[in-house]
Structures are given as structure tokens and as C-alpha cells.
Amino acid sequence: MAALRHGAALRSLSFASRQASRLPFTRQVAASSTRMASSFLPGEPEGPSVKTEIPGPESKEYIAKLNQVFDTRSLNMLADYTKSVGNYIVDPDGNALLDVYAQIASIPVGYNNPTLKKAAESPEMVTALINRPALGNFPSHDWADILETGILKVAPKGLNQVFTGMAGSDANETAFKAAFMWRRQRERGGPAVEFTEEELSSSMLNQTPGASELSILSFKSAFHGRLFGTLSTTRSKPIHKLDIPAFDWPHATFPQLKYPLEEHEAENAQAEADSLAEVEHLIKNYRVPPAAVIVEPIQSEGGDNHASPAFFRGLRALTKKHGVLLIVDEVQTGVGATGKFWAHDHWDLPEPPDMVTFSKKAQTAGYYYGDPSLRPNKPYRQFNTWMGDPARAILFRAIVDEIQRHDLVANTARVGDYLFSSLQKLSDKYPGQFENLRGKGQGTFIAFDNPKRDEFLKKAKKFGVNIGGSGESAVRLRPMLIFEKHHADILLEALEKVVAS
């Protein structure tokens, strides 16, 4: 198993401590008594504590047992969630790591958050869990209230309806379906126009005109999921796509910005203009016409690739000009991580996207929309048994309440500015180790490139930090919304130890 091989290669904590003692730091991996714990969660450790190699002996036993019944080859580390708290993930050996990966950007307000625990123990949650409804057929009497006080309470501007789903891939795939049905309905002459007999019969043969010849336009290096339809728009890593039949769908070049941004303004503006020109060419000329364009505000799995607000305003203008829908994939960027609740709020769009998909930190999934014509003209066209999960919607409502009660989006913006400026200093001090630092003004949604990225991530665990990568060489930071300045200081110390060791 990869995880066991990696663990066997790790040096002992005593060696890591000796290495650390030779570095320009006064504090070691174990927390000092002067460090403050979380302002938001009681019981959080004052700092990381690394007691064994990772994985340690207890973890190795659990991993071996798990591997008998579950594929563990992608395992990063084994966790004990009964002991994890706040910003810290704890393993069975008692190692407590500052977690700035957060279940691939999916934990919003900390492990074992008491507000979420209270929601989980509520009679409303118990009812939702043990009487899970088939929402399309048998929604509960309070489903509208649950939506309005949670998911729709934080709906993006101009979008007042939601289709709930199960995961990010599901959210995007159902948004694709909505786009295709919207386009064909418009071409057919409106929602009142009935399907022809030819359409009905040919659809059962997977042939036109019933099976439409339409596509979704995405971007190179994009990631939109691993389901059958979303894989045809995912272009981040070959391993995601190998052996899976794919649709003949177009992809444009996402702008490849150069950093620092202020030193490459003309080049970056040209790269964005070229990308928009390619998008327009594909919309007008691709052999399978796009019904929608899907884009991430920041290409996350593909390497944390950014573009300017002007680029996205141009994309919105192009889609409106050519009657193509714009789907913004906020699965990873949404729910506060960029210093705004939705990352596309940074763009100052003159009018909203047509659909915004969400999951991860929301702990539920789906897509928002505003145009009533995005509802299919007949029932059962956009349908499945569950159509979401009321239990997860109740949890998201508690998350929203916690975010608003502590003003955590503002906290993330504030801490992100501090973290970015501090990383700039590290970049100056250690040339080549924090290359292409990006994410300024984007909360804690920050990344940089490292020439030995995979080794960098392994070393970080020795110094008490769980961190993730993306693309070929990016180190991506995905802290929780309760990540504070003193957590940033702990992270910065650990990152310097990694590059200096």
C-alpha cells in the first residue's frame, strides 16, 4: 500500500525534532503553552503534536484491516474523528496535525463543531435521517422552510431557486441536463410545444432528434467531477478519464497567467483575450454546438489557475451574446473560502450566471438558478429517487448560521490577506520554493508551486501540518473558515521548516 510505504520512509519524530532544532525557530512541533487556541471552538489544541511517524503503528493496523475490504491506495492519512477538533485532525496514534486541506476543501467550521453537533442531535435531524424522503414524490411538509432558511438563504444574487443533489459531480451533471433541456425547449418553440413521435421513438435508440446533438464547453485543466457526463468536461488529469467513453465536447484554453501579476499585466491581458476569442470561435463553429459553458472561478484540481474579474465578465458577455448558458462551478470555491461567500462575487457581473453549482463546504449539493424556463416543461425529466438529502440541508443551515454568527467570511478575508503577505516574504527569502504565489485578495484560497511538491507535502506532516496539492506542482491551501492569524503563524513556521530542512 502506498500509504504504508510512505509511512515506512518517514523518519522518526526525534530526528525531525533534531532537524528542527537546527533551524531558525524557537518553537518546535509540539505546541508551547503560550499559544492561544481557537477563538471559535472550545477544546482545540494549542498547536500540532507529532508523536510517531505517519502512519504510526496503530494507524498501520487499522489500514491493514481496512485494505481487506476497501481500496486504500489513495489513502492520505487515517483519522480518528472522535478526537479531531477545530482546525486539527488527529490520527489513531495521537498525532494532531493542523489541517489546511480540510477533507479536500470540504470542512467549513471545524471538526466536531458544537453547533453542528447540536443540529445533528435535533429531533428535526432525527426525523430526516430515519424517514429519508424521495423528495420528488414525497417531500416533507417543511421542505420549503428548510430550503428557505438554509440553502436559499445564501443563494447567489439573482438566483432564487435550487435543484438539490448528492455531490459536486451530481450537481454539475444535473446542471448539464437542465442546459440541454432548456436549449431544445427553446429550439422547439417553448414549453407548451409537445414532443414529436420521432423525438420520442429516436430517444429510445440514443439517436437524433430525440437524443440531441449538443455539448458543454469547458476549459483545459478544468475539473467538474467524475460521473459519466462531467468526465467529458474534466481535463485535469488523465487518470480521471482513462478507459471511460467520452462525449465529443469542446474545450478552450484557460488563461495561463504569469506571476507576479503586476509585472505581467500586458501578457496576462493578452492571454485572457486569446482565451475569450477561442471560446467565441468554439461557440460559433464547433461541430457539436455548446448549450452551456462551465467554468470554475479558480481551477482547483487543475493547479489553482486564476483569471481576472474582467475575463469572467467577458465570458458572461459572450454567453449572453450567443444564447449560451453560463454555469459557474463553485463546488470548491463556494461558501466563504475566497473571502466572499461565492467566489464569483469578486467579478462584479452585470447580471448573474445562469446556474451556480455547489457542494463540499455546503455538505450538501445542487445548483442554483433564477430563470423559470430552466425548470423542465414536464415532471420526471429532472428526477431521481432522493433528489438531495434533507439531513444534509439541515446541516448546511447550521453551517450558515455559524458562519454568520461569527462573521467567518470576513475572518477568512482578513486572515487570507495576512497569510498571503507572509508567504510573499517567505518567497523572497527562499527563491524557487514558493513560486507563482497566487490568490491575493482571495481569502485563504492560496497556492504556490514547489519543484519537489510531493516531497514537500510529506515533509509537512513531520512538522505537524496536513496540506494538499493540485495540478503538477502546486501546493494548495484550503483551511477552514475558522482558521485564524495564530493558525497562519503555525502554518508559516512549518512551511519554513519544510523548505529549510
pLDDT at residue 17 is higher than 90: no
Q: How far is CA 241 from CA 75, 222, 290, 295, in A?
A: 20, 12, 21, 19
Report the C-alpha gap between 96 and 422 in whole angstroms. 24
Average pLDDT over residues 304-332: 98
User: Do residues 476 and 304 make contact, with C-beta atoms less than 8 angstroms apart?
Assistant: yes
Report the C-alpha gap between 434 and 474 in whole angstroms. 9
Residue 492 grid coordinates: 508559516
pLDDT at residue 205 is higher than 70: yes
Q: What percent of the chain has pLDDT over 90?
A: 92
Predicted pLDDT at 24: 36
121 SS3 class: coil
Which pLDDT tens digit goes with each residue over 389-437?
A: 999 999 999 999 999 999 999 999 999 999 999 999 999 999 999 999 9
Tell me which range, 4-13, 27-36, 44-53, is most confidently predicted by mean pLDDT. 44-53
Local confidence band at 15 (pLDDT 50, 70, 90 cut-offs): very low
pLDDT at residue 369 is higher than 90: yes
User: Do residues 415 and 446 make contact, with C-beta atoms less than 8 angstroms apart?
Assistant: no
Average pLDDT over residues 89-111: 98
pLDDT at residue 33 is higher than 90: no
Report the C-alpha gap between 203 and 215 in whole angstroms. 17
Local confidence band at 18 (pLDDT 50, 70, 90 cut-offs): very low
Report the C-alpha gap between 111 and 102 in whole angstroms. 9
Predicted pLDDT at 82: 98
Record the pTM.
0.92
Report the C-alpha gap between 336 and 317 in whole angstroms. 26
Which pLDDT tens digit goes with each residue over 209-265?
A: 999 999 999 999 999 999 999 999 999 999 999 999 999 999 999 999 999 999 999
Q: What percent of the chain has pLDDT over 70?
A: 93
Q: How far is CA 482 from CA 362, 466, 491, in A?
A: 15, 16, 14
pLDDT at residue 7 is higher than 80: no
Average pLDDT over residues 58-65: 98
41, amino acid identity: L
Say if strands 96-99 and 215-219 run parallel, antiparallel, or are unpaired: unpaired
State the catalytic residues: 223, 329, 360, 385
Local confidence band at 38 (pLDDT 50, 70, 90 cut-offs): confident
Which pLDDT tens digit goes with each residue over 154-194?
A: 999 999 999 999 999 999 999 999 999 999 999 999 999 99
